[in-house]
């Protein structure tokens, strides 16, 4: 049953993405200043927002774990962080392609870009740390604390365009900028794709969650056979 | 508060008696300084890097001091003895952090003049600001370092995980400190533009100190 | 009967999904000296760590002297001696004891430190650093460290391991004294003979289950496998 | 020689099974890269430092791999088991060095492309020379690192002593490697003037490899 | 008499200025099982490390099976089990044993590894990493590691410490077997009873001096302080 729902959501988000692609590529006009390449925005921006939301939820799950010591909270935290990291990589990749075309280089050490990279490194460190701790209780506790600390880097990354003058564009989304800076049709499309990507992220997360749960049971079983 | 000073005093006393990690940190900071000067080819106008270099050196050398902090508790399972005692977790953390702050301060006091001579830097252009920057940044380093030292103290791969976790978390403090120090060394002091870095340092210190005090108890009990 | 020193109710401890302790129930009366037996990996250390507040419980309740959970008050009354000695190598013997005297908020830590150094026969090296001590001396200092606040509950994990006859005798003497003063002792051990000189009761853990608790009986000393043959998995 | 490969294979296998130190070293190298680039960026034009930066990063990140090498033997007193066996000391050293060389090579293989992208550096201008430089310098780092890791493995203050001892010893290799890499990245390749650095690397490798092989037996027995 | 398995002559060992061993003379015949007794810090571990070639001598000579010093040949015939277990946590049980099989240049390391896993009852976890093992399992693996090349000389430092009855019985069985095959055993211990089941001789170290070596006598088992009262400092 659960699996069927998951399949349905996966299928729906897939179709949604295809539909969005069709609109993005064939219906929306080129942007005035940047030309065709601006379309990468429809993946870059929602990708980052999805990633940050995943980190935020992972932080909440970590707090929950510390309070309740519920192993499921820990599973959510890993699965969410992993999804967040995947989308961070997506954001980095799309950003770099975009930068290459607009700025002519893959990378500049601009505050936004630098903080985004740091954010990636911190969460990569988190995942690495998890792999090196064998005992699940200890792993959950330490990882939860690190996750809470790590979230500060997300906040800095998010706010960096407001705090520093960056080469990276400033806020364009209306809810951040407080005014309409983008064509409403384009912004609407952004939200559509955000929705599709988030649904997609949810599906990956649920899959990872199942895997994590299975792994835990396997570990326990192996431990048990050893102790015989 | 009595507990806090008991712990701080214990740590300071054991360290100052042998001066092992202070000496190592001071020596190491010289070594890195030499390494960096090769890279940067000091001949030219290396003065601009002054602030950046200084804090890189402090970060690497300071790690030696900060690592020892909980490693010292580990050798004879002393941490267990402390955790089983009526000492509250936050007092343990605060005591250790204060001791580490003092030790890092000593290392900086040794390194600054050397650095000043090698790089022709004048620390006394804005003494109050310089002191403030150092204090804020050092406290930030101390809090993160002490907390992660506690986090990793019982891990099998402590030596590997500590740098991977600590340095990225430290980057905000280091960047702010570098920026401010450079401004104080070669610029016109703290201008309106630099205020963001001062605020970042203060915010960082407050946030991470409170987070650490709130979370330390979850770490100490296994 | 006065309230129990230790009351462990239906305690489970999981390491991941592996249950190191399974529904352990244990009641230790005041003044009892309990020897905790069990094979390697049975869960003795795990249980002692939980009692000492060094480790969390997954399920169940533990109360120490009637107050539930891990209160500061309970910690103040408890003395713990684990595998590690809990001594700072860079500090002198006297400083080590004073430190713990202060942490346990004794009235006169310096005085207590000297008194205990005398009792464990380390007064002549009071101002030498612990690093320079031999293994036996370190162990004696550790004992003084664990006893300095005259705890009402003593938790000892394999206290006789790798000690020579003299150190064992000293520890037994101090334990007997504490017992006479009304304190409660719980110790884990594989060395039945040394433990049984003091123990009034013994308990057996088998794979995380507490399968027996009873008064000491003569058979246990004469034949080390008797316990397992009668109560353990082999029975 | 059978012994050498037994040891090298054992080390490689245990490391590649978990990839712990490789991952940590790769992550750490990224972290340092960010820090360094911030330092250098304060005054722009970082490309000239490319070579220098690269080797600093390798030196710091490589230390993580090299430290683990003997630390792995320490946890269960495995070193004693090996020393008490008929395995000759030089075979133990060589086996470990080969394993470390391979592991450092993997870390470099990961770091180089990233470095290339972040700093717009093209590694393929003189591929053969680049490879040779990397191999020679990495072997130098490996030999010194492995030897000092063995020297300090039983010291109480291992974490403190290792960096203070190793980095100064490494300065010649690092300087040569930096110089050559910069020439290969932005210059006209290896010119007559650069030959001295190539010779330095070769000489360093030969001398320290023979010294280590000759002296290792004195270190292992306490 | 055939040549001695071990011949230690006037051996001194200094740690700095501190003499941990003082003019120790010890001769162990082939097939002998020697229990080395002594208080904490007497020098037992130091002497065993020297015999195993893990530590240098300051003065004197040691010969193993007639060949002086620390030859490869002597090492090949020696099995050592110290405090550490000498097992790699990242490798599986089988890989660990194969590794040492290769280092000791056995003909068929893989075969020997499986045979020993069987003997120490770890065959069912042959391909699990040693990290996952419990303390008892690790100890059994360590025993297999030390015995895999069927050594003619076994050096064991406190082998019975912190082991349960079952592991002790296994170790005693394997030791008895090696002794029956003509091997020589030297072990240090504080647990007289377990050691004396096998030992044919015992020796006593007092502060670095070897004060007595003799055949085993019944008094030693029944009363642990007998040794010290009759031969030690207390006498
Ligand atoms: C590797 C290079 C890049 C990185 C790491 C990067 C990183 C990020 C991050 C972290 C966000 C945060 C999303 C948010 O604020 O909600 C973002 C948003 C955005 N990025 Fe990038 N970016 C890169 C390159 C670019 C380029 C080249 C452009 C266009 C010239 C661009 C345009 C945008 C825009 C318009 C937003 C949305 C800002 C808003 O209103 O919130 N990015 N990027
Ligand atoms: N930190 C941990 N992580 C995972 N498993 C653990 C941990 N600590 C203990 N265990 C497991 O819990 C079980 C009980 O261990 P414990 O140390 O309490 O045994 P013990 O009775 O003290 O044994 P011994 O006599 O060998 O000291 C063992 O199976 C052990 O492997
Ligand atoms: N590495 C060392 N450095 C300095 N002194 C040492 C060292 N190793 C041992 N000693 C000293 O040498 C003496 C003998 O130590 P050793 O470990 O051999 O004793 P032991 O008989 O094994 O004692 P135990 O029963 O406690 O294991 C002790 O006084 C000890 O302090
Ligand atoms: Mg135990
Ligand atoms: Mg010993």
Convert the pLDDT of each residue in E42-77 to its tens digit.
999 999 999 999 988 999 999 998 888 778 888 999
% pLDDT > 70, chain B = 95
CA distance A222 to chain E (A): 9
**Sorting pLDDT into bands at 50, 70 and 90, what band is B145?**
very high
Question: How far is the centre of ligand 3, averaged over its atoms, from the C-alpha of C227 (Å)?
Answer: 35
Q: Does E16 contact C at CB distance below 8 Å?
A: no
What would the pLDDT profile of A67-101 be if each residue is shown by its tens digit?
A: 988 889 999 999 999 999 999 999 999 999 999 88
> What is the A208 CA–ligand 2 centroid distance (Å)?
30
Domain that holds residue C10: 6-84+133-231
Q: How near does any CA of chain A get to the CA of D121, in Å?
A: 11
Which ligand sits closest to the CA of A53? 1
CA distance B172 to B200: 8
Q: Is some CB atom of chain A closer than 8 A to the CB atom of B151?
A: yes
Band of the pLDDT at E161, cuts 50, 70, 90? confident
Q: Which residues pair with E206 in a beta bridge?
A: E209
- Strands in C33-38's sheet, in edge-to-edge order, are C78-81, C153-157, C184-188, C33-38, C201-206, C209-215
Q: What's the CA-to-centroid distance between C157 and ligand 4, angstroms?
A: 7
- What's the C33 CA to ligand 2 centre distance in angstroms? 23
The set of residues, in sequence order, having a beta carbon less than 8 Å from that of E68 and lying 6+ positions away, is E61, E62
Residues of chain A positioned with their CB less than 8 A from the CB of B208: 149, 152
pLDDT in tens, C98-136: 999 999 999 999 999 999 999 998 999 999 999 888 888
Report yes or no on C90 lying in a domain.
no
Give the number of domains in chain E.
1
Dist. CA B214–CA D200, nearest whole Å: 54
> What pLDDT score was predicted for residue B43?
46
Q: Identify the pLDDT of residue B45.
A: 54
For the residues of D65-104, what is the DSSP string, one character each? HHHHHHHHHHTTTHHHHHHHSS--HHHHHHHHHHHHHHHH
Domain boundaries, chain A: 2-227
Positive/negative CA dihedral, D192, D197, D202, D203: positive
E121 touches chain C (CB under 8 A): no
Highest mean pLDDT among A17-26, E108-117, E120-129: E108-117
What is the C-alpha to C-alpha distance for residues A174 and A187, in angstroms, rounded to an integer? 8
Is E134's CB within 8 Å of C191's CB? no
Decide whether any atom of ligand 1 lies within 6 Å of the A44 Cβ.
yes
Q: Which of A68-82, B40-54, C182-196, E54-68 has the lowest mean pLDDT?
A: B40-54
SS3 state at E180: helix
Could you tell me the distance, in angstroms and rounded to a whole number, from the CA of residue A168 to the centre of ligand 1? Answer: 6
d(CA E34, CA E31) in angstroms, rounded, equals 10
**Which one is predicted more confidently, A165 or D175?**
D175
Nearest CA distance, A39 vs chain D (angstrom): 23
Q: How far apart are the first and last CA of chain E?
A: 34
Record: contact B76-C103, CB cut-off 8 A: no
Question: Can you tell me the distance from the alpha carbon of E140 to that of E125, in angstroms, rounded to the nearest whole number?
Answer: 12
Instruction: Determine which helix (DSSP H) or strand (DSSP E) holds D13, and give its type and residue range.
Output: helix D2-18
Comparing CB atoms, the residue among A132, A163, A164 nearest residue B161 is: A132
Looking at per-residue pLDDT, the higher value among B145 and E4 belongs to: B145
Examine residue C95 and state whether it is found in any structural domain, yes or no: no
Contacts (Cβ under 8 Å, ≥6 apart) of B101? B138, B139, B142
Buried (b) or exposed (e) across D114-139, using 16+ Cβ within 10 A? ebbebbebebeebeebbebbbebbbb
The pLDDT of residue C1: 43
Q: Which of C22, C44, C48, C160 to mutate to test the pocket of ligand 2 (most atoms within 8 A of CB)?
A: C44
Cβ proximity of C79 and C154 under 8 Å? yes
Interface of C with A (CB under 8 A): 14-18, 41, 56, 58, 207
| Residue C147 in domain | yes
- Please state the φ and ψ torsions of residue E95, each to the nearest 5 degrees: -60, -40
Residue E149's SS3 state is coil
> What DSSP character marks residue E30?
T
From the list D124, D111, D212, D130, the residue with the least C-alpha distance to D169 is D212
Q: Using CA atoms, how far apart are residues A188 and A37, in angstroms rounded to an integer?
A: 18
Is C115 part of any domain? no
Please name the residue whose Cα sits nearest to atom 4 of ligand 3: E15
Q: Which of B28, B164, B179 sits opposite D27 (nearest CB)?
A: B164
Neighbours of D191 (CB within 10 A): 9
Instruction: Report the pLDDT value the prediction gives residue C166, as an integer from 0 to 100.
Output: 84
- Residues A116-135: what's their mean pLDDT? 93
Task: Please name which of D83, D85, D98 lies closest in space to residue D13, comparing C-alpha atoms.
Answer: D98
Ligand having the closest approach to the CA of C157: 4
Residues contacting residue E222 through CB under 8 Å, at least 6 positions apart: none
Q: How far is CA A108 from CA A42, A158, B222, D46, in A?
A: 22, 18, 44, 11
Residue E93: left (phi > 0), alpha (psi -120 to 50), or beta?
alpha
When computed from its CA atoms, the radius of gyration of chain B, rounded to whole angstroms, is: 18
CB A222 to CB E128 under 8 A?
Answer: yes
Alpha-carbon Rg of chain D, whole angstroms?
Answer: 18
Q: What is the pLDDT of residue D49?
A: 66
The mean pLDDT of A169-191, rounded to a whole number, is: 79
CB pairs under 8 A between A and C: 26
- CB A95 less than 6 A from any atom of ligand 1: yes
Average pLDDT over residues E225-235: 73
| Cβ neighbours of C193 (radius 10 Å) | 15
List of chain D residues whose C-beta atoms are within 8 Å of the C-beta of residue E98: none
Cα–Cα distance for residue pair B56/A182, rounded to 1 Å = 42
Question: pLDDT value at position B46?
Answer: 54
Q: Can you point out the beta strands (E) in E73-144?
A: 78-81
Domain count, chain B: 1
CA gap C44, C26 in Å, rounded = 13
Ligand 1 contacts CB of residue A99 (under 6 A)? yes
Task: Report residue E115: phi and psi, to 5°.
Answer: -60, -45
pLDDT score, position D42: 47
E-strand ranges in E164-206 read 184-188, 201-206
pLDDT of amino acid B47: 60
Per-residue pLDDT of chain D (222 residues; tens, 9 = 90+): 789 999 999 999 999 988 888 999 999 999 988 888 777 764 445 556 667 788 888 999 998 899 888 888 888 889 999 999 999 999 999 999 999 999 999 999 988 888 888 777 777 788 888 899 999 999 999 999 999 999 888 777 788 888 888 999 998 999 899 888 888 877 777 788 888 999 999 999 999 999 999 999 888 887
Shortest Cα distance, chain A CAs vs residue E125, angstroms: 7
B76 to chain C: which residues are within 8 Å by CB? 84-89
State which residue of chain E sits closest to A226, comparing Cα positions: E125
**Alpha carbon of B39 to those of B34, C8, C159, D36: distances in Å?**
9, 63, 56, 11
- The CATH class of the A2-227 domain is mainly alpha
A69: left (phi over 0), alpha (psi -120 to 50) or beta: left
CA E196 to chain CA centroid, nearest Å: 14
D158 contact partners, CB below 8 Å, separation of at least 6:
D152
| CA neighbor of B200 nearest in space, from B131, B137, B146, B108 | B137
Q: How far is C15 from chain A (nearest CA, A)?
A: 6
For the CA of C44, the nearest ligand = 2
pLDDT(B100) > 90: yes
pLDDT at E234: 65
**Would C114 be classed as within a structural domain?**
no
**Measured between CA atoms, how close is B204 to chain C, in angstroms?**
31
Q: What span, in angstroms and rounded, lies between the C-alpha atoms of A147 and E81?
A: 43
Rounded CA separation C36/C205 (Å): 7
CATH number of the domain that E52 lies in?
Answer: 3.40.50.300
Structural domain boundaries enclosing B179? 2-220
Instruction: Indicate whether E25 belongs to any domain.
Output: yes
Whether ligand 2 lies within 6 angstroms of the CB of C45 is answered as: yes
Which residue among E42, E47, E84, E190 is best mutated to probe the pocket of ligand 3, counting the most ligand atoms within 8 A of its Cβ? E42
Q: Is the pLDDT of residue C12 over 90?
A: yes
Confidence (pLDDT) at A82: 95
Distance, in Å, from the CA atom of C45 to the CA atom of C25, rounded to the nearest integer, reads 16
| Whether pLDDT at E125 is above 60 | yes
Interval B94-98 mean pLDDT? 96
The partner residue sitting opposite B155, judged by closest CB among A125, A133, A164, is A133
CB atoms within 10 A of CB B51: 24
Q: How far, in Å, CA of D208 to CA of D141, rounded?
A: 10
Q: Compute, in angstroms, the gap from residue E51 CA to the centroid of ligand 3.
A: 15
A39 CB under 6 A from ligand 1? no
* Nearest-by-CA chain B residue for C85: B76
pLDDT at residue C98 in the model? 95
Instruction: Name, in order, each residue with C-beta under 8 angstroms of C227's C-beta and a sequence gap of 6 or more.
Output: C37, C192, C202, C204, C220
Report pTM. Answer: 0.91
Give ∠ CA C209-C214-C217 in degrees, rounded to 5.
125
Q: What is the pLDDT of residue C8?
A: 94
C-alpha closest to that of B70 among B170, B166, B1: B166
Distance A180 CA to ligand 3 centre (A): 78
Ligand 1 nearest atom to the CA of residue A49, by list position: 16
Region B67-71: mean pLDDT is 87
The 8-class DSSP code of residue D157 comes to: T
Measure CB to CB from residue E161 to each of C41, C161, C228 and give the nearest one. Answer: C161
**Is pLDDT of B142 > 80?**
yes
Kindly state the average pLDDT of the residues E23-37: 94
d(CA E78, CA E72): 10
Q: Which residues of D touch B68 (CB under 8 A)?
A: 159-160
| Closest protein CA for atom 30 of ligand 2 | C41
């Amino acid at each position: 049953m659960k699996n069927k729902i998951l399949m349905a959501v996966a299928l729906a988000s897939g179709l949604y993405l295809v539909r969005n692609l069709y609109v993005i590529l064939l219906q929306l006009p080129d942007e005035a200043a940047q030309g065709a390449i601006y379309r990468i925005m429809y993946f870059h921006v929602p990708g980052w927002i999805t990633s940050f939301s995943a980190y935020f939820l992972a932080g909440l799950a970590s707090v929950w774990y510390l309070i309740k010591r519920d192993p499921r909270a820990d599973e959510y935290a890993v699965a969410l962080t992993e999804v967040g990291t995947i989308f961070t990589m997506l954001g980095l990749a799309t950003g770099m392609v975009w930068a290459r075309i607009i700025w002519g280089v893959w990378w500049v050490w601009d505050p936004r870009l630098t903080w985004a990279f740091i954010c990636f490194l911190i969460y990569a460190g988190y995942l690495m740390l998890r792999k090196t701790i064998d005992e699940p209780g200890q792993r959950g506790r330490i990882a939860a604390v690190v996750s809470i600390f790590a979230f500060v880097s997300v906040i800095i990354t998010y706010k960096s365009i407001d705090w520093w003058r960056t080469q990276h564009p400033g806020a364009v989304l209306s809810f951040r900028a407080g005014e309409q800076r983008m064509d409403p049709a384009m912004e609407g499309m952004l939200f559509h794709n955000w929705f599709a990507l988030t649904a997609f992220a949810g599906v990956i997360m649920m899959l990872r969650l199942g895997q994590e749960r299975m792994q835990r049971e396997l570990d326990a079983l192996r431990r048990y056979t050893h102790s015989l | 508060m009595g507990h806090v000073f008991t712990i701080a005093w214990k740590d300071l006393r054991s360290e100052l008696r042998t001066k092992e990690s202070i000496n190592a940190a001071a020596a190491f900071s010289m070594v890195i300084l030499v390494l960096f000067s090769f890279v940067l080819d000091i001949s030219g106008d290396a003065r601009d890097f002054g602030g950046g270099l200084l804090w890189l050196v402090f970060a690497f050398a300071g790690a030696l001091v900060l690592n020892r902090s909980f490693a010292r508790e580990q050798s004879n399972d002393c941490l267990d003895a402390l955790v089983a005692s009526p000492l509250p977790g936050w007092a343990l953390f605060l005591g250790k952090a204060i001791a580490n702050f003092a030790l890092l301060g000593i290392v900086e006091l040794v390194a600054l003049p050397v650095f000043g001579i090698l790089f022709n830097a004048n620390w006394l252009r804005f003494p109050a600001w310089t002191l403030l920057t150092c204090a804020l940044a050092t406290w930030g380093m101390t809090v993160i370092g002490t907390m992660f030292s506690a986090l990793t103290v019982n891990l099998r791969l402590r030596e590997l995980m500590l740098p991977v976790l600590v340095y990225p978390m430290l980057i905000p403090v280091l960047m702010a400190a570098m920026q401010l120090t450079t401004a104080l060394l070669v610029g016109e002091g703290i201008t309106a533009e630099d205020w963001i870095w001062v605020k970042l340092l203060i915010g960082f210190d407050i946030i991470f100190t409170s987070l650490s005090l709130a979370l330390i108890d979850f770490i100490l009990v296994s | 009967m006065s309230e129990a020193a230790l009351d462990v109710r239906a305690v489970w401890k999981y390491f991941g999904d592996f249950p190191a302790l399974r529904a352990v129930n244990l009641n230790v009366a005041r003044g009892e000296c309990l020897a905790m037996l069990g094979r390697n990996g049975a869960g003795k250390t795990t249980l002692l760590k939980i009692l000492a507040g060094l480790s969390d419980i997954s399920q169940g309740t533990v109360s120490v002297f009637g107050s539930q959970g891990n209160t500061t008050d309970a910690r103040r009354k408890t003395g713990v001696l684990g595998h590690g000695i809990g001594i700072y190598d860079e500090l002198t013997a006297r400083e080590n004891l004073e430190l713990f005297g202060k942490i346990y908020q004794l009235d006169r830590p310096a005085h207590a430190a000297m008194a205990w150094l005398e009792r464990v026969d380390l007064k002549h090296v009071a101002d030498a650093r612990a690093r320079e001590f031999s293994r036996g001396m370190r162990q004696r200092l550790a004992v003084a460290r664990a006893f300095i606040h005259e705890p009402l509950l003593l938790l000892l994990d394999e206290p006789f391991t790798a000690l020579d006859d003299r150190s064992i005798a000293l520890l037994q003497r101090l334990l007997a004294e504490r017992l006479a003063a009304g304190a409660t002792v719980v110790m884990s051990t594989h060395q039945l003979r040394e433990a049984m000189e003091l123990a009034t009761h013994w308990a057996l853990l088998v794979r995380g289950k507490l399968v027996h608790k009873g008064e000491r009986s003569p058979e246990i000393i004469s034949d080390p496998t008797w316990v397992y043959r009668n109560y353990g998995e082999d029975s």
